[in-house]
A and B are shown apart, each in its own frame.
Chain A
Amino acid sequence: MIKAILIFNNHGKPRLSKFYEHYTEDTEQQIIRETFHLVSKRDENVCNFLEGGMLIGGSDYKLIYRHYATLYFVFCVDSSESELGILDLIQVFVETLDKCFENVCELDLIFHVDKVHNILAEMVMGGMVLETNMNEIITQVDAQNKMEKSETRQPETIS
């Protein structure tokens, strides 16, 4: 099961945080800080797996991360997930974001965090992997966006 998905930049500022288990707000922030601390220390050519920090559960949980340009994508998983499989999943996630936002960069994630949540909701649900086919995900997300657009003929929009 995936316990949490975090995206933060090279300075530790969170760009997306989704927890699939309940923690208090303070704990969530602490987890983000601790994860950043652990992950930012890593060299570029070491493996992408880390034992989890103390807060999020200790020995059964692993951090699997990938570093793209200015962003860290971190999945915190327990032993029931395949490590290499999660690495591939991160790759699929990033490629999907790339397709949806057209050459995604950090600014896209900053200003459209709700859209990123929607895309993620089509991939991972309740801590388990829902869909891994990129085209399928994009189709669903596009259809839902179209629904939203059709409703909002008034000037009011979210963002």
Chain B
Amino acid sequence: MPAPIRLRELIRTIRTARTQAEEREMIQKECAAIRSSFREEDNTYRCRNVAKLLYMHMLGYPAHFGQLECLKLIASQKFTDKRIGYLGAMLLLDERQDVHLLMTNCIKNDLNHSTQYVQGLALCTLGCMGSSEMCRDLAGEVEKLLKTSNSYLRKKAALCAVHVIRKVPELMEMFLPATKNLLSEKNHGVLHTSVVLLTEMCERSPDMLAHFRKLVPQLVRILKNLIMSGYSPEHDVSGISDPFLQVRILRLLRILGKSDDDSSEAMNDILAQVATNTETSKNVGNAILYETVLTIMDIKSESGLRVLAINILGRFLLNNDKNIRYVALTSLLKTVQTDHNAVQRHRSTIVDCLKDLDVSIKRRAMELSFALVNGNNIRGMMKELLYFLDSCDPEFKADCASGVFLAAEKYGTDSLTSLHVTAVLSCVLAGSYVRDDSVPNLIQLITNSVEMHAYTVQRLYKALLDDISQQPLVQVASWCIGEYGDLLVSGQCEEEEPIQDEVLDVLEGLLVSNLSTPVTRGYALTAIMKLSTRFSSVNRIKKVVSIYGSSIDVELQQRAVEYNALFKKYDHMRPALLERMPIMEKTATNGPTEIVQTNGETEPSAVEPKHPPPVTQPANQVRTPYSGSYSEQDSSAVTTQFSHDIITFPPSVFQTFQLQLLSPSSNVVPALNQGTVTQVIRVLNPQKQQLRMRIKLTYTHKGSPVQDLAEVNNFPPQSWQ
């Protein structure tokens, strides 16, 4: 068999391939050749073959048949073989293959090899992909090498120890004695990796953290030497002495100084020194400053130092280099919780960053802006944020919309209602990016901002014409059209208003569309029903409603049947039922109200039947009349029979209460207090809010409809506590 081709040749050949298929063919041919060569147990060319295999693996072709060969290479005596073998092991093998355990013995031998480079290879491989079993077996060897005087091996052993600790945390104690004099090394490589090792140990164990606190003075000294030492050619990067080591030490200081006064005190001076003396013209200087700022913010530093840190960040924000600005925004985001006022000073710069072209900077600026919104600056911020929402990329819209909505909810007060509503509308118009559970909140908000009804319904109607696929938008829009449809067609809006038939077309379209969920269809049907008192085309509405009386969807069917009943038997009640909704009070501020939005499921608990029945609200806003019995009712005026009917709708779920209505005992109240009608309602009151009830009675007396309003406030405390 001819000698296998060299890696160089293979690469050259593959590069001549003009299509993916050609490349695949070449690779397959070569794989076959390699496989037969492996089968022949050819020692001389094995490393060449494995190198080729690794190249093909990088291009994405399967190379698992080379795993055992890597092991054979590792076991070989030659350095060339070992080098490729270990590289192959790192690229092709991992813990999930059983083959890797076979390496343990080889690595053990190599860790004790006479040549430092072989030892280095073994450490490197163990540190990259050693499994927990391997780490357990070989931890002793690593620990030995950690104490050697050879700096090349010592630094590799330190990082290998980090990997061992990550895989087998219980072994951390084992490395403790070896760390004693790690920091007195002169070699920067060893120093660097030692600091990494110490950092890892401190992060993992609070005991270690306490133990290593005594190293703070030593670390401070090393840092001081680095800054003051002047030009040292071997460690110099753009004029600063070993910035990587400085950054690492600063990070370790941060961990050591967190929530510890003494250590923080010891660090104050050096941090101030680094912050003021570091040159900021190059990236390296800024890297160190950045790390310093993070450390100052995290430890218990004095306030002067903190102000210095935030000012540095403020300067970063104005820097031309985008990377610096990005990094500044990230760190301001971390500190905004603790030093809110200091960050507020830079608010205008942050808001400017919203207009940056860079996607990463925009995202950071957006998050930071939301964190900075408070009662004082809500107006200005909202304007900027709404503008951003309009003009930003789709990938931001979701987060931006929910952020604006949350901010509006939290800080929007009555005086800012129109601002609030505009904000919320924009969110909804941003489409599917609004959470589904915000629909009731939006509806409540819209109801309460009375002067905006016309504008709101007009905008929502227009949005509906464009797109009916976003369910939250459709639900809110159809609700509004149902409520304020008369405003929509009456010419109160500035632009051309639609005619009644168009509006009904749109709503009917929602009912039949495949895009609408069952909930949306429910909204649409109820909206159509409500328009029967606001529009004149009642016949059309009647027809639509009756069609859905036989719908497969049970919810729709029930509604349609009940609405049908409204048209037929209870037509006299229809106007009252379908009236405008009153202003809803926010439950958080006012305790229980009688008309509240829905949220969550709970089980009912019984209430004594003696209490008069409360008002219920079906899932869609039709007010229920009910009849109750009052022994207090004035019956002296009449002697004739009352007859009134009861319509009960299924109760909806309340934010603070849940109600379950059972059927009344009868639907006629005899005159002259000769009898009563009782209806049991079960109320679940998980928040133990005070029970109050407002009652509206609608009944017929001597053939004509009567309405009566009353309030019940005297529920005995035992009933709701």
Query: Is B537 interfacial (CB 8 A cutoff)?
Result: no
Query: Is A126 interfacial (CB 8 A cutoff)?
Result: yes
Given contacts A113-B58, A147-B117, A151-B78, contact A128 B162 (CB under 8 A): yes
Q: How far is the CA of A48 from the CA of B325 in the complex (A)?
A: 11
B11 touches A84 (CB 8 A): no
Q: How far is the CA of A16 from the CA of B196 in the complex (A)?
A: 26
A47 CB to closest chain B CB, in angstroms? 4
Q: How far is the CA of A133 from the CA of B190 in the complex (A)?
A: 11
Query: Is B284 interfacial (CB 8 A cutoff)?
Result: yes
Q: How far is the CA of A133 from the CA of B7 in the complex (A)?
A: 30
* Chain A residues near B7 (CB-CB < 8 A): 111, 114, 158-159
Query: Is A156 interfacial (CB 8 A cutoff)?
Result: yes
| Residue of chain A at shortest CB distance from B321 | A47
B192 touches A129 (CB 8 A): yes
A29 touches B60 (CB 8 A): yes
Given contacts A128-B162, A144-B83, contact A84 B323 (CB under 8 A): yes
Q: Mark A106-120, 1 if CB is under 8 A from B, else 0.
A: 000011011001100
A131 CB to closest chain B CB, in angstroms? 5
Q: Mark A29-47, 1 if CB is under 8 A from B, else 0.
A: 1000000000000010111
A46 touches B48 (CB 8 A): no
Q: Mark B125-138, 1 if CB is under 8 A from A, else 0.
A: 00111000000000
Query: Is B87 interfacial (CB 8 A cutoff)?
Result: yes
A14 touches B323 (CB 8 A): no
Q: How far is the CA of A87 from the CA of B282 in the complex (A)?
A: 12
A82 touches B251 (CB 8 A): yes
A84 touches B156 (CB 8 A): no
B322 touches A45 (CB 8 A): yes
Q: How far is the CA of A92 from the CA of B242 in the complex (A)?
A: 12
Within 8 A of B (CB), among A119-153: 121, 125-133, 135-136, 140, 143-144, 147-148, 151-152
B325 touches A22 (CB 8 A): no
B287 touches A158 (CB 8 A): no
A158 touches B127 (CB 8 A): no
Query: Is A89 interfacial (CB 8 A cutoff)?
Result: yes
Within 8 A of A (CB), among B173-193: 188-189, 192-193
A77 CB to closest chain B CB, in angstroms? 13
Q: How far is the CA of A41 from the CA of B20 in the complex (A)?
A: 24
Q: How far is the CA of A98 from the CA of B243 in the complex (A)?
A: 21
Segment from B270-278, B356-364, B538-546, B585-593 that makes contact with A? B356-364
Q: How far is the CA of A131 from the CA of B242 in the complex (A)?
A: 11
Q: How far is the CA of A83 from the CA of B364 in the complex (A)?
A: 15
Given contacts A110-B11, A154-B44, contact A46 B117 (CB under 8 A): no
Query: Is B332 interfacial (CB 8 A cutoff)?
Result: no
Given contacts A20-B128, A117-B87, A121-B124, contact A158 B95 (CB under 8 A): no
A92 CB to closest chain B CB, in angstroms? 7
Given contacts A88-B243, A111-B8, A131-B189, contact A140 B84 (CB under 8 A): no
Query: Is B115 interfacial (CB 8 A cutoff)?
Result: yes
A130 touches B358 (CB 8 A): no
B360 touches A49 (CB 8 A): yes
B360 touches A128 (CB 8 A): no
Query: Is A85 interfacial (CB 8 A cutoff)?
Result: yes
Query: Is B523 interfacial (CB 8 A cutoff)?
Result: no
* Chain A residues near B193 (CB-CB < 8 A): 128, 130
**Which one of B59, B78, B160 contacts A126 once the chains associate, using CB atoms below 8 Å?**
B160
Category for how many chain A residues contact B: 35 or more
Q: How far is the CA of A121 from the CA of B124 in the complex (A)?
A: 7
Q: How far is the CA of A117 from the CA of B91 in the complex (A)?
A: 10
Query: Is B202 interfacial (CB 8 A cutoff)?
Result: no
| Residue of chain A at shortest CB distance from B233 | A135
Segment from B49-57, B402-410, B504-512, B679-687 that makes contact with A? B49-57
Query: Is A102 interfacial (CB 8 A cutoff)?
Result: no
Query: Is B204 interfacial (CB 8 A cutoff)?
Result: no
A128 touches B59 (CB 8 A): no
A158 touches B323 (CB 8 A): no
A134 CB to closest chain B CB, in angstroms? 9
Q: How far is the CA of A51 from the CA of B367 in the complex (A)?
A: 14
Given contacts A129-B192, A130-B189, contact A48 B323 (CB under 8 A): yes
A143 touches B117 (CB 8 A): yes
Q: How far is the CA of A122 from the CA of B51 in the complex (A)?
A: 19
Q: How far is the CA of A37 from the CA of B83 in the complex (A)?
A: 33
* Chain B residues near A157 (CB-CB < 8 A): 6, 48
* Chain B residues near A9 (CB-CB < 8 A): none
A159 touches B83 (CB 8 A): no
A140 touches B360 (CB 8 A): no
Query: Is B224 interfacial (CB 8 A cutoff)?
Result: no
B45 touches A47 (CB 8 A): no
* Chain B residues near A117 (CB-CB < 8 A): 87
Q: How far is the CA of A151 from the CA of B247 in the complex (A)?
A: 41
* Chain A residues near B59 (CB-CB < 8 A): 14
Query: Is B234 interfacial (CB 8 A cutoff)?
Result: yes
Q: How far is the CA of A49 from the CA of B330 in the complex (A)?
A: 11
Q: How far is the CA of A4 from the CA of B153 in the complex (A)?
A: 24
Q: Mark B34-74, 1 if CB is under 8 A from A, else 0.
A: 00000000001101100100110111101100000000000
* Chain B residues near A133 (CB-CB < 8 A): 188-189, 234-235, 242
Q: How far is the CA of A32 from the CA of B210 in the complex (A)?
A: 42
B334 CB to closest chain A CB, in angstroms? 10
A129 touches B128 (CB 8 A): no
Q: How far is the CA of A117 from the CA of B6 in the complex (A)?
A: 18
Q: How far is the CA of A157 from the CA of B235 in the complex (A)?
A: 36
A sample of 23 cross-chain residue pairs with beta-carbon separation below 8 angstroms, ordered by A number, consists of: A46-B322, A47-B358, A82-B251, A82-B290, A82-B291, A83-B326, A84-B290, A84-B327, A85-B243, A88-B243, A88-B283, A125-B123, A125-B128, A126-B124, A127-B128, A128-B159, A129-B192, A140-B117, A140-B120, A140-B152, A144-B79, A147-B79, A159-B6
A residues engaging B (CB < 8 A)? 14, 16-18, 20, 22, 25, 28-29, 43, 45-51, 82-85, 87-89, 92, 110-111, 113-114, 117-118, 121, 125-133, 135-136, 140, 143-144, 147-148, 151-152, 154, 156-159
B residues engaging A (CB < 8 A)? 3, 6-8, 11, 15, 44-45, 47-48, 51, 54-55, 57-60, 62-63, 78-80, 83-84, 87, 91, 94-96, 115, 117, 120, 123-124, 127-129, 152, 155-156, 159-160, 162-163, 188-189, 192-193, 196, 234-235, 237, 242-245, 247, 251, 283-284, 286-287, 290-291, 322-327, 330, 357-361, 363
Other than A130-B192, A159-B8, give 4 A-B pairs with Cβ distance below 8 A: A51-B360, A126-B124, A133-B189, A147-B117
